[in-house]
């Protein structure tokens, strides 16, 4: 099944056809001839229509430019706002990573100390050579200048 596209006659196409017809007719007919007058009227109407379309298109274009300008201003504002938010989040993330690193190091230290505590046997005999007898320490605290030989 073939579908034919509808051709829309644009004012500029009709205008150029009318001008061509007027040019051909002017060679054969007088300026006051009804066909010439009709063609001149049609040409002037189409010129007005083209000018109307042109001015309408120009107004739409200007409106669109202003609209796009406003959108760009809004987007620039949004970009600045999100840059501030991104910077804040970046700083928070860095602080979080620092704190997480400290927590990890503290956990590691805790685990190491816990393992060290488990490795030390509470029932182990402590070397008595490092202990100070209480009688000796009391005597020296009262009389620090007295020496035991």
- Confidence (pLDDT) at 123: 54
Across all residues in the chain, what is the average pLDDT? Answer: 78
| 80 burial type by CB count under 10 A (0-12 exposed, 13-18 middle, 19+ buried) | exposed
25 alpha-carbon distance from chain centroid: 64
pLDDT of residue 4 exceeding 70, the answer is: no
pLDDT score for 33: 72
Q: Could you read off the pLDDT of 12-62 as tens digits, one per residue?
A: 566 566 666 666 666 566 667 777 788 888 888 989 999 999 999 999 999
Q: Cα 19 vs. chain centroid, distance in angstroms? A: 55
Establish if 125 belongs to a structural domain: no
In a domain, 42, yes or no: yes
Element at 24 (helix H, strand E): helix 11-28
What is the residue range of 46's domain? 11-85
Residue 142 lies in a domain: no
Whether residue 77 lies inside any domain: the answer is yes
Q: State residue 120's pLDDT score.
A: 78
Classify residue 50: in a domain, yes or no: yes
End-to-end alpha carbon distance in the chain: 129
**How many distinct structural domains can be found in the chain?**
1
**Has residue 130 been placed in a domain?**
no
Q: How far apart are CA 110 and CA 118, in angstroms?
A: 12
Query: Whose CA is closest to 23, among 43, 9, 50?
Result: 43
CA distance 102 to 109: 10
Alpha-carbon dihedral sign for residues 93, 98, 99, 101:
positive
Q: DSSP characters for 37-87?
A: HHHHHHHHHHHHHHHHHHHHHHHHHHHHHHHHHHHHHHHHHHHHHHHHHHH
Residue 4 located in a structural domain: no
pLDDT value of residue 5: 45
Is 32 inside a domain boundary? yes
């Amino acid at each position: 099944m073939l579908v034919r596209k509808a051709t829309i006659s644009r004012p500029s196409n009709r205008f150029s056809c009318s001008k061509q017809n007027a040019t051909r007719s002017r060679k054969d007919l007088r300026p006051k001839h009804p066909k010439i007058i009709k063609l001149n009227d049609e040409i002037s109407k189409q010129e007005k229509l083209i000018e109307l379309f042109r001015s309408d298109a120009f107004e739409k274009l200007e409106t669109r430019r202003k609209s796009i300008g406003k959108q760009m201003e809004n987007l620039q504002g949004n970009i600045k706002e999100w840059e501030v938010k991104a910077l804040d989040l970046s700083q928070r993330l860095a602080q979080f990573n620092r704190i997480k690193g400290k927590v990890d190091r503290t956990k590691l230290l805790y685990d190491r100390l816990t393992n060290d505590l488990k490795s030390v046997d509470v029932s182990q005999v402590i070397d008595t050579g490092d202990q100070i007898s209480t009688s000796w320490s009391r005597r020296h605290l009262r009389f620090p200048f007295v020496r035991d030989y």
